[in-house]
Chains A and B, each alone.
Chain A
Amino acid sequence: MADSIISFLAAMIRYSTPLLFVALGVLVMEVSGIVNMGAEGMMIIGCLTGVVVTHHLNNAWLGGLAAMLVAGLFGLLFGALVLEFRINQTVLGVAFNLVGAGLTTTLNRAFFDGMNAGTTYGSFLGFPIPTYIAIGLVILAWVAMYKMKIGVQMRSVGENPVVVESVGISVKKLRYIACAAGGALVGFGGAFLSTGILSQFTENMTDGRGFIALAAVTFGKYTPFGTLGGVLVFGIGETLSYRLQAGGGAFPYEFALMLPYILTVLALCAFSRNAKDPAALGVPYVKSH
């Protein structure tokens, strides 16, 4: 029994790691007031970049770094379109998802079809090292958000950018930083999925995880530990869905596969009813003179 529980928890933590990176990236952007509906697109770009660079440089960490760089640039592009041209953030997010899926499919078919990463991240005590980094990042994000100046400024930008600007802090600068950092984290989540959990890219391999990350952030009431909780709820549901099927019995497989999504929706209803979005979330900021 104890072995089963340990194995269940180990599988859940291991397979939830990519989602945790993505959710943290979404969190960083959302607390600064940017709705990142395009996380799915940025993640799949990270998946392909990770495999290609890891394959050519024979180093998964460099692959992850390259994915952070490329997805970070996409994050900056997202920021530029939102901040400079005030394009509707939700629509832009959908556009990024379409671009991400289309671009990676095209490039994969043209140049990288069937490419194997060839190597992966090291592990410690049975878990890949990025799993520890992800948990470390949750703590770091909490410290940064609640104990450091940059975090307080970032949250303030998400709540009331006019006040932040009035004390001489650049709203745009803070939001650009959030977009770049958020994009980079989402990209690493993608790279870890394709090179840490698997070892190659397959089209549409993110399978909606960018959207689940959004739900996890809302579930967590825009806090790092809450977001971790949201990711784990989904992870429990996902792991349970396969254990129930493998365990036999009369449990219909359709219900087993629905389980993670039902659990996430129920958890959102139960724990996030009073969740308060950052007041300026998704609101275009116009600098007053």
Chain B
Amino acid sequence: MKKVFALALSLMMVVSLLAGCGGSGGSSNPPASGGGDAQQPGDAQTSSGDTDYSNVKIGLMLSGSANDGGWSQMAADAANAAAEKYPGATVNYSESIPATDFESTMRGYADAGYTIIVSHGAEFLDAAKLVSQEYPDITFICTSAQSGQEPNLTGIDFATFQLGFLNGVACAMATETKKIGAVGSNEIDSIIAWADGVRAGAQYVDPECEVITVYTGSYDDALKAKQAVDALQQQGVDIVTQNADACGVGAVQECDALGLMNVGAVSDQTLLGESCFISVIQDAQLGIEVAVEQAIEGTVEPGFVSMGASAGVITLTDYAGKYADLLTDEEKTTLQNLWQQSYDGVDLETLVK
């Protein structure tokens, strides 16, 4: 009887864990090593004449949860959308991978015969640079990366500086105290670039504006973001912007509770609370989708690639919430014009130098 219960409990655990990985093709662990050399995609024809991409296997590595409503979910949706366009191509993903498992997870995918390995976030770059050298026939893509590596690692930056710059401009035009709070998840390359962008954007509008950056150290714990906003308010901050995955929910909700203003980043965070009056969207989904499609076609270039407003990755939402009419028409036009300039290929960083 005791054994039966122990077995039942074990089964319950396994089922919960497997199901918990969610999403189509989800997986919480790196796939078991199974050999198989990487093959060139699309080298077989189906009977109907369509190209068969069943030898295309895409492995996606996420540091957060695949349904966080933000950063990680974008990548999962993008990989699935790209794969759907190529009959037979499959996607598997690993979620919430701890830093200690980056390399082993990547090698697990490579050894299991995956042809394209997408690691989502700058935190994976070091591991990707190391592992990609050992598997020259596999295409590696690392998102939010500030560099890539010949011959098979493409580092894609989704214009995080541009994102932060537009966040900073919107915040600086709204603030009265001239103190802006920026809540980031961890001090990684992409978040640092974003925080630099916020600072530059704020300085562009008003050189006296001060940007205070606080890191939560977490992608999931929304309470930490609330505490961060609470601490920022004590420093006189009256507007907050955040780039912290699911943590961002807490930042917007605390702004609602404390009567602060908020500018969203990455996803449409105007939906999360009344205080968020505009979001700067970073449509990594589009960028990843394009990159994965290029990888399947075999046309993706190794090295560093930047995708911003001109690639449709950075966009602005409509104004919403209780501060929707806070900015004047002139200010709204300024923000729109800055986006237009980045769309036209102007490097926003040059505007503040």
Contacts and interface: CB of A to CB of B under 8 A. Distances in A.
A78 to B, nearest CB: 11
Nearest to A235: B227
Interface in B141-194: 181, 187
A85 B1 contact: yes
B215 A203 contact: no
Contacts of B5: 81, 85, 87
A262 interface: no
A59 interface: no
A4 B231 CA distance: 10
A257 B217 contact: yes
A264 to B, nearest CB: 15
B69 A114 contact: yes
Contacts of A199: 253
Contact of B234 (A87, A101, A198, A246): A246
A86 B2 contact: yes
B16 interface: yes
Contact of B250 (A85, A198, A239): A198
A98 B253 contact: no
Contacts of B10: 95
A81 B20 contact: no
A58 interface: no
Contacts of B2: 85-87
B212 A106 contact: no
A11 to B, nearest CB: 5
A207 B13 contact: no
Interface string A176-210: 00000000000000000100011110111101000
B253 A99 contact: no
Contacts of B214: 242, 245-246, 253
A15 interface: yes
Interface stretch (B79-87, B121-129, B218-226, B318-326): B218-226
B273 to A, nearest CB: 9
Contact of B67 (A4, A81, A109): A109
Contact of B223 (A15, A248, A254): A15
Contacts of A101: 16, 20
B249 interface: yes
Contacts of A170: none
Nearest to B18: A102
Interface residues of A, number: 43
Given A245-B228, A248-B212, A202 B22 contact: no
Contacts of B249: 198, 200, 202
Interface string A100-114: 011101101100011
Contacts of A253: 187, 214-215, 217
Interface string B16-58: 1111101100000000000000000000000000000000000
Contact of A205 (B96, B220, B228, B234): B220
A203 B65 contact: yes
B223 to A, nearest CB: 6
A258 to B, nearest CB: 9
A273 interface: no
B294 interface: no
Contact of A98 (B16, B181, B215): B16
A198 to B, nearest CB: 5
Nearest to B237: A246
Interface in A5-58: 7, 11, 15, 18
A11 B16 contact: no
B181 to A, nearest CB: 8
B331 interface: no
A106 to B, nearest CB: 4
Contacts of A247: 231, 235
B99 interface: no
Nearest to B9: A95
B68 A102 contact: no
B223 A103 contact: no
B110 to A, nearest CB: 27
Nearest to A253: B215
B96 A204 contact: yes
B351 interface: no
B230 interface: yes
A285 to B, nearest CB: 15
Interface of B: 1-2, 5-6, 9-10, 12-13, 15-20, 22-23, 65, 67-69, 96, 181, 187, 212-218, 220-224, 226-228, 230-232, 234-235, 237, 246, 249-250, 253
Closest 10 CB pairs of A and B: A102-B16, A102-B20, A242-B231, A207-B221, A105-B20, A246-B231, A257-B217, A106-B19, A204-B220, A85-B2
20 contacts: A15-B226, A85-B5, A85-B6, A87-B5, A87-B9, A99-B16, A114-B69, A202-B68, A203-B68, A204-B96, A207-B220, A207-B221, A238-B227, A239-B231, A242-B228, A246-B214, A246-B231, A246-B237, A247-B231, A253-B214
Given A15-B226, A87-B6, 7 more contacts: A85-B1, A85-B2, A85-B6, A103-B20, A204-B221, A253-B215, A257-B215
